[in-house]
Amino acid sequence: LHLGCAWVFILLLPGLSDGGKLLVVPMDGSHWLSMRKVVEKLTERGHEVVVVIPEVSWQMQRTQGYTVKTYPVSYTLEELNNAFYEYVATHLKNLPFPMNALALYKTSVHVFRTFFIQCKNLFSSKETLQYLNQSSFDAVLTDPIFMCGATLANYFSLPFVFFMRGFPCNLHYEAPQCPSPLSYTPRLFTFNSDHMTFFQRVENALVALLELVYCNGFYEDAIKFSSEVLQRDVSLIDLLHSASIWLLRFDFVFEYVRPVMPNMVFIGGINCAEMKPLSK
Ligand SMILES: *[C@@H]1O[C@H](CO)[C@@H](O)[C@H](O)[C@H]1NC(C)=O
């Protein structure tokens, strides 16, 4: 596990340069806990870091050395909480198939839409955009699950690094063009292995077909909005594929092995950065 952390710090060593200027577009909640560690470390090492966050958020208020730039939002904390409570409650409902899948899909679309409002708010704050533009950053570090960081990086034509657990719909393998033969790479939730029977392969293919559809639902707002601000028709893959590095917070100890690209770095150990001893 320490190997994972070591990797991040090797990547982030200022070493040859005098320290860069980094724009961080994080994701709220538990996602921020492990990213915060990296941001603090980067600051310690002499990089200038600006974290851009919405005025209403759960976990992101504390600052330690790095600069925080907030932007006004059009939702309340209560609306944010409600969308999330509904999402969690749907997971606990125990509905029979296919009602469970449909309910989960519906509540996920709602959560994605609610969180994407942050991005629309960011782009409607002219003052924030101007500040970001004038700051001339060297790169963007972002948790891209709700797409705002990727849209922003594309908007300012900055190189970007992803720091994340993973996308739905296999996007974190599809966007960097990892080889992904359906006969050998099991899809999420199928619980197949790399040795599949004919029918398991059929199942795998059907799940892969579904993946093409459901992310377009989750990211409908994001795709539409990004196309507007970037003034061209973008797809999810367009937004994601030019990421310079993918720092992925998981480990093949828990996942099926599969081919990945050289710019994908597995840093599952970082999840333990905020560890505490077990209570006796
Ligand atoms: C950033 O500012 C420069 C100089 O004022 C301007 O030419 C450019 O269009 C701005 N870029 C964006 C993405 O707003």
Closest atom of ligand 1 to 156 CA is: 13
The better pLDDT of the pair 30, 72 is held by 72
Which residue has its alpha carbon closest to ligand 1 atom 1?
Answer: 133
Residue 277 is assigned to a structural domain of this protein: no
Residue 276 is assigned to a structural domain of this protein: no
Q: How far is the CA of 80 from the centre of ligand 1 (A)?
A: 32
Cβ < 6 A, ligand 1 pocket: 133, 155-156
Each residue of 180-213: pLDDT tens digit? Answer: 999 999 888 788 888 999 999 999 999 999 887 8
What pLDDT score does 4 carry? 52
C-alpha 109/C-alpha 118 separation (Å) is 15
Residue 113 is assigned to a structural domain of this protein: yes
What pLDDT score does 21 carry? 96
Residue 215 is assigned to a structural domain of this protein: yes
What pLDDT score does 117 carry? 95
C-alpha 45/C-alpha 19 separation (Å) is 8
Which residue has its alpha carbon closest to ligand 1 atom 2?
Answer: 133
The amino acid present at 132, given as its one-letter code, is L
Residue 275 is assigned to a structural domain of this protein: no
Task: Provide the β-strand partners of residue 22.
Answer: 49, 139
Residue 45 is assigned to a structural domain of this protein: yes
The better pLDDT of the pair 241, 275 is held by 241
Task: Indicate the top mutation candidate among 23, 124, 133 to test ligand 1's pocket, ranked by most ligand atoms within 8 A of CB.
Answer: 133
Task: State the CATH number of the domain containing residue 228.
Answer: 3.40.50.2000
Is residue 7 scored above 60 in pLDDT? no
Share of the chain above pLDDT 70, in %: 93
Domain total in the chain: 1
CA distances 80 to 92, 122, 199, 226, Å, are: 19, 16, 42, 22
142, containing H or E segment:
strand 139-142
Which residue has its alpha carbon closest to ligand 1 atom 14?
Answer: 133
pTM of the predicted structure, to 2 decimals? 0.88
C-alpha 85/C-alpha 77 separation (Å) is 12
Task: Provide the β-strand partners of residue 264.
Answer: 246
DSSP-H helix ranges across 13-147: 30-44, 77-91, 99-124, 126-134
Task: Provide the β-strand partners of residue 48.
Answer: 21
C-alpha 26/C-alpha 24 separation (Å) is 6
Average pLDDT of 2-19? 56
Each residue of 103-138: pLDDT tens digit? Answer: 999 999 999 999 999 999 999 999 999 999 999 999
What pLDDT score does 95 carry? 86
Domain of 36, in residue numbers: 2-270
Is residue 260 scored above 90 in pLDDT? yes
Average pLDDT of 6-33? 74
